[in-house]
């Protein structure tokens, strides 16, 4: 029974991931059509492009962890600030699962990494990473998913960032729609 339950959870995760992904892409397409992707002020001085860069960094984080699991490598969250800095220097994104990292805070190093990269290139990278996540999840066994708490971790670094970004973007769109022209 538990094997069937695990399989169903993985299947449900992949379905939910695709559904959330579709919703996120629809929103981005709507904003892109209105040419509002690089307007500042979505939250603070951030743009939609900045939020998509953050989504990409979360997805890259989990894509790399999934690849490590598939190759039998072990990841341990950074336990010191030196390890945290070394992780970011090595991978180019934060160790999002380290207890030392501030959750739900915009990472200025991520934003700085992508500031001179065109939005289309960020989207292209993000699409490739998303595909990698789905492919890796399909290859992983049920035991690997359970042993590494992947149902939770994949959600935490994929569709939960989509939802956070979407919420901020929707608020911003309402705000700018209500401003006098």
Q: What does the pLDDT profile of the chain (181 residues) look like in tens digits? A: 344 444 458 888 899 999 999 999 999 888 876 667 778 888 888 889 999 999 999 999 999 999 999 999 989 999 999 999 999 999 999 999 999 998 777 787 888 889 899 888 998 999 999 999 999 999 999 889 989 999 999 999 999 999 999 999 999 988 888 877 6
* Run of H or E including 30: helix 2-33
CATH value of 2-71+106-178 in 3.40.50.300, 3.40.718.10, 1.20.1260.10, 1.20.120.450: 1.20.120.450
* pLDDT recorded at residue 68: 96
The closest alpha carbon to 151, from 136, 137, 166, 170, belongs to: 137
CA 13/CA 154 separation, integer angstroms = 8
Q: What is the pTM of this model?
A: 0.89
Q: Which residues pair with 46 in a beta bridge?
A: 43
Q: Which residues of 104-134 are buried (b: 16+ CB within 10 A; e: fewer)?
A: eeebeebbebbeeeebeebbebbeebbebbb
Report DSSP state, residue 46.
B
Measured between alpha carbons, how far apart are the two ends of the chain, in Å? 60
Alpha helices, H only, 44-158? 48-70, 81-91, 108-114, 119-139, 142-147, 150-157
Cα torsion through 90, 93, 98, 100, rounded to 10: 100
* pLDDT recorded at residue 6: 46
The two structure tokens encoding residue 4: 């069937």
């Amino acid at each position: 029974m538990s094997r069937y339950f695990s399989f169903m959870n993985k299947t449900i995760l992949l379905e939910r991931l695709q559904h959330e992904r579709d919703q996120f892409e629809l929103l981005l397409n709507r904003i892109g059509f209105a040419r509002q992707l690089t307007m500042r002020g979505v939250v603070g001085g951030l743009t939609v492009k900045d939020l998509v860069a953050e989504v990409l960094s979360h997805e890259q984080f989990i894509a790399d962890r999934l690849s490590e699991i598939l190759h039998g490598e072990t990841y341990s969250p950074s336990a010191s600030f030196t390890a945290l800095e070394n992780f970011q220097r090595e991978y180019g994104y934060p160790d999002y699962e380290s207890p030392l990292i501030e959750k739900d805070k915009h990472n200025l190093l991520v934003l700085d990494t992508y500031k001179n990269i065109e939005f289309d290139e960020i989207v292209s990278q993000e699409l490739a990473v998303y595909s990698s996540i789905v492919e890796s999840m399909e290859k992983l066994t049920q035991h690997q998913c359970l042993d590494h708490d992947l149902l939770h971790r994949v959600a935490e670094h994929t569709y939960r960032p989509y939802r956070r970004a979407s919420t901020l973007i929707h608020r911003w769109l309402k705000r700018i729609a209500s401003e006098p022209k």
